[in-house]
Amino acid sequence: MTLTWGAGSLGPGAGTLPTAHSHVPRESHELTITHSHLPRESHQMNAFVIAKLTFREALRRKALYGAVALTVAFLALYAWGTGYIVRELDEGLPQGLARLASQSGVDVRLLAIGELLLAGLYAVSNIAGLLAIFMAAGTISQEVEQGTLQSIISKPVSRVDVVLGKWLGGAAMLATYVAITGVLAAGIVYWRAGYLPTQLPLGLLLLMLKTTLLYSLTMVGSATVPAITTGIVMLIVYVVANVTGMIEQVGVAIGSETMVRIGVIASLLIPSDALWKMGASLVQPPNPLPALGIQMSLGPFGVVNPPSVWMGVYGLTYTLLALGLAALIFSRRDL
């Protein structure tokens, strides 16, 4: 987001300062904040004004347009595929599922539909995670490189206000994306198969927390190093977190303590996948297979042993600490 602050727009005492127009390329979007937008007497309002502008600017980013276009294409394909699979299940279970149903007495049709819902939410969660990384990677570093923040923080606007405002605006945008696309994915499954989990709102809240965590952690990098470095590092970290989460799932299925331990350690380092597992466990149908001695779900997206509620508390604390660290680093950074 590019913020352009007019000289002297924050009232007496601000002095006559050069604006940031000379540092910003002409093709970038300019948002001018005057005294009427930012009261002198309320530093708390500074963050909310910046958050509002961050949200508006995010709506103009090409990354968001790309994510929306991919999401629309995915949801269209998802609706077609879900309808086709449900019709196939209604006509007769595939041989493998039919054998499992006859031997265990489990309603494998419901488990299969649950896997379809989890597949859609998994895609939504990962698109939102990538969007969070790409949005946050340059939210501070690019404006430092362009010089726009030099005029902003010379006014009665603290660096903490800047970081908090950008965080609030970005987190609100990502939460909106997760809520809309998550509800659409669940609506498609309900339309095609008639299954709608009662705890869907809580599950989506956990997916929002996962996305906000990634946004907060990426802001730490944005306050420290250039955007390209932050984006590459966070992309690798995110992929590794997802892979170690799958390793943990496999470890649970085959009884490998080492593989489970790898997943647990990775969740402590970055609990994004743990938050996904918590959300998935709330929206999936009851899985009776573990009670029969089968420590696995019907597909790759189901969760057999979900993390405890304390992992959710840890994820929330992790997010807030990352935000605080980003503000601390930026407050000490030379511009």
pLDDT band at 21 (very low <50, low <70, confident <90, very high): very low
Query: What's the residue count for the chain?
Result: 335
Q: What is the mean pLDDT of residues 198-221?
A: 96
pLDDT at 7: 36
Tokens of 110: 């419901």
pLDDT at 189: 95
Angle between helices 227-254 and 108-137 (to 10 degrees): 160
pLDDT at 332: 84
Tokens of 180: 């809309």
Q: What is the mean pLDDT of residues 125-130?
A: 94
Backbone angles phi, psi at 32, to 5 degrees: -100, 125
Task: Return the amino acid letter for 335.
Answer: L
**Residue showing tokens 């990962």:** 126
Residue, of 8 and 295, whose pLDDT is higher = 295
Using alpha carbons, select from 245, 262, 254 the residue that is nearest to residue 296: 254
The residues spanned by each domain of the chain are 62-137+167-331
Residue, of 34 and 216, whose pLDDT is higher = 216
pLDDT at 45: 61
**DSSP conformational letter for 271:** T
pLDDT at 149: 65
- What DSSP line would sit under 2-33, residue for residue? -EEE-TTTT-TTS-----SGGGS-TTS--EEE
Q: Under a CB-based contact definition with an 8 Å cutoff, are residues 70 and 181 in contact? A: no
pLDDT at 263: 93
pLDDT tens sequence across 61-89: 777 788 888 899 999 999 999 999 999 88
pTM of the predicted protein model: 0.82
pLDDT at 292: 66
| % the chain with pLDDT above 90 | 51
Segment among 1-10, 218-227, 283-292 with least mean pLDDT: 1-10
Q: What is the mean pLDDT of residues 125-137?
A: 93
CA 133 vs. chain centroid, Å, equals 8
Q: Under a CB-based contact definition with an 8 Å cutoff, are residues 207 and 275 in contact? A: yes
pLDDT at 90: 82
Residue, of 278 and 55, whose pLDDT is higher = 278
pLDDT band at 144 (very low <50, low <70, confident <90, very high): confident
Task: Return the amino acid letter for 2.
Answer: T
pLDDT tens sequence across 226-261: 999 999 999 999 999 999 999 998 888 888 999 999
Averaged pLDDT score across all residues of the chain: 82
Count Cβ atoms below 10 Å from residue 106 Cβ, excluding itself.
Answer: 19
Task: Return the amino acid letter for 328.
Answer: L
Segment among 21-25, 275-279, 326-330, 331-335 with least mean pLDDT: 21-25
pLDDT at 152: 61
Count Cβ atoms below 10 Å from residue 306 Cβ, excluding itself.
Answer: 15
pLDDT at 39: 47
pLDDT(41) > 60: no
User: What gap in Å lies between CA 138 and CA 232, rounded to an integer?
Assistant: 12
User: What gap in Å lies between CA 51 and CA 169, rounded to an integer?
Assistant: 4
pLDDT at 151: 61
Using alpha carbons, select from 80, 88, 91 the residue that is nearest to residue 120: 80
User: What gap in Å lies between CA 327 and CA 166, rounded to an integer?
Assistant: 11
Tokens of 157: 């606007």
pLDDT(42) > 80: no
Radius of gyration of the chain (CA): 23
